[in-house]
Chains A and B, each alone.
Chain A
Amino acid sequence: NAGVTQTPKFRILKIGQSMTLQCTQDMNHNYMYWYRQDPGMGLKLIYYSVGAGITDKGEVPNGYNVSRSTTEDFPLRLELAAPSQTSVYFCASSYAGLNSPLHFGNGTRLTVT
């Protein structure tokens, strides 16, 4: 039972570099989400997808891009990393959107210096 798998677990980037955070789920969930968690700020939705080929912006999409070419994978791309993107990033999925519980990965801790 892998559930939601995120890679890498940790990453340090220099300002201006780019990277892709990987997320894959093996539960055949249509709905997938990317959140960031900052200390004392709660989780904020970056992007979400309701199925392969469909993505939409969340609360804080600036500086990020996503794609959803398959049901299983939902990578998050950071272009031109900035210190404000230092955070813990969580990918989540659900069977029936917000009608059903969210399943989270263990997160990627990103530091931009």
Chain B
Amino acid sequence: KQEVTQIPAALSVPEGENLVLNCSFTDSAIYNLQWFRQDPGKGLTSLLLIQSSQREQTSGRLNASLDKSSGRSTLYIAASQPGDSATYLCAVANAGGTSYGKLTFGQGTILTVHP
């Protein structure tokens, strides 16, 4: 059974700092991995989707990497801003077997960027 873990559970940084959020998964047979952002009381917003054949994806100040063999992904946020404060979740689409195509979510990292 796929398990997804996100470390740290919470992170507080000063504005302007570069930071890395971590996501690990136990079963490397994945279809793809998505990073989401969730603001309080809101739904999830997809930030980046990395296919299993890709190593990284970039969008603006965000860069996500994927190392499927080691079961790890990182989300790098450059020059953080207070508006980046949110919960960040990663989700893995499992390939093969009875769980094909279903997403397994991590529990999220709560990020606070203070001015």
Report if A and B associate in a common complex: yes
Interface residues of A (CB under 8 A from B): 4, 40-43, 45, 58-59, 90, 92, 97-107
Interface residues of B (CB under 8 A from A): 4, 31-32, 34, 36, 41-46, 49, 89, 91, 93, 101-108
With A42-B4, A42-B105, A43-B105 in contact, is A100–B49 under 8 Å at CB? yes
| Smallest Cβ-Cβ distance to A100: which chain B residue | B49
Main secondary structure of the interface of B (DSSP, over half): strand
Find out whether the CB atom of B42 lies under 8 angstroms from the CB atom of A106. Answer: yes
With A100-B49, A101-B34, A102-B34 in contact, is A107–B103 under 8 Å at CB? no
* 7 A-B pairs with the lowest CB-CB distances in the bound complex, closest first: A104-B43, A101-B46, A42-B105, A98-B93, A43-B105, A104-B44, A106-B43
Find out whether the CB atom of B43 lies under 8 angstroms from the CB atom of A4. Answer: yes
A100 to B108, CA, bound (A): 21
- Chain A residue numbers with a CB within 8 Å of B34 are 101-102
- Chain B residue numbers with a CB within 8 Å of A103 are 46
Find out whether the CB atom of B45 lies under 8 angstroms from the CB atom of A104. Answer: yes
Find out whether the CB atom of B103 lies under 8 angstroms from the CB atom of A105. Answer: no
Q: Out of A4, A41, A92, A98, which one reaches B31, CB within 8 Å?
A: A98
- Chain A residue numbers with a CB within 8 Å of B32 are 98-99
Q: Out of B45, B101, B107, which one reaches A98, CB within 8 Å?
A: B101
